[in-house]
Amino acid sequence: MDWKTTVAIVTGASTGIGRETALFLARRGATVIGIARTQETSRASARLPTVFRPLRRASADVTDTAAITTTLQRLEDRYGRVDLLVNNAGTGVYKSALRTSAVEFEAILRTNFLGAVACTLAVLPGMVRRRAGHIVNVSSPSAFAPPPGQTAYAASKAALDASRSHCSSRSGAGVRVSIVYQGT
């Protein structure tokens, strides 16, 4: 992959894995747009080192399907394409299933699974049209070996793993899908 011509979008880019991924890609010369949930976290990502190629930022909440879709389509129009999407935005509540409310389950699934699906569906048509692109879903070993106290988180990551099938049929169209199991 020629990083200097790559347009990459990383969700959850203001901290942790997302921040490090954005920096890794920028160091290699990619045009990187970091997506953060709020203006405040977006401003935090703006303080990322820009000694290589400037990192761009955008604010959108992956749980707001209309907003994230509009944002990603706007970015694709602005940069001409999206070559790489890293679905990294995530959240978790770490307590037993009996102490986790349905509202908490829904919030985790909305961020970790449905947010990634919304982002993928926003950029997938352009990737298929160009017959090129790579989607990376950041998952967790919890998806296949859920530890105690991570029921909702593990379920969301297992769903994310299963969602690979909605893109895998696109592999013949030049679109690659990868899952990264952080922490392994």
Q: Which residues contact 64 (CB under 8 A, 6 or more apart)?
A: none
The predicted-structure confidence for 110-168, as pLDDT tens digits, reads as follows 999 999 999 999 999 999 999 999 999 999 999 999 889 899 999 999 999 887 765 55
User: Which pLDDT band holds residue 173 (cuts at 50, 70, 90)?
Assistant: confident
Q: Which residues are annotated as catalytic?
A: 153
Per-residue pLDDT tens over the stretch 70-110: 999 999 999 999 999 999 999 998 888 889 999 999 999 99
| Single pTM value for the model | 0.89
Q: How confident is the model at residue 51 (pLDDT cuts 50, 70, 90)?
A: very low
Please count the other Cβ atoms lying within 10 Å of the Cβ belonging to residue 178: 13
Domain ranges of the chain: 3-181
Residue 146: how many CA atoms within 13 Å on its side-chain side? 18
- CATH 1.10.238.10 fits domain 3-181: no
Q: Please state, in angstroms and rounded to a whole number, the distance separating the CA atoms of residues 130 and 65.
A: 24
pLDDT of 48 higher than 60: no
For residues 67 and 14, the model is more confident at 67
Confidence of residue 54 (pLDDT cuts 50, 70, 90): low
Contact present, 131 and 174 (Cβ < 8 Å): yes
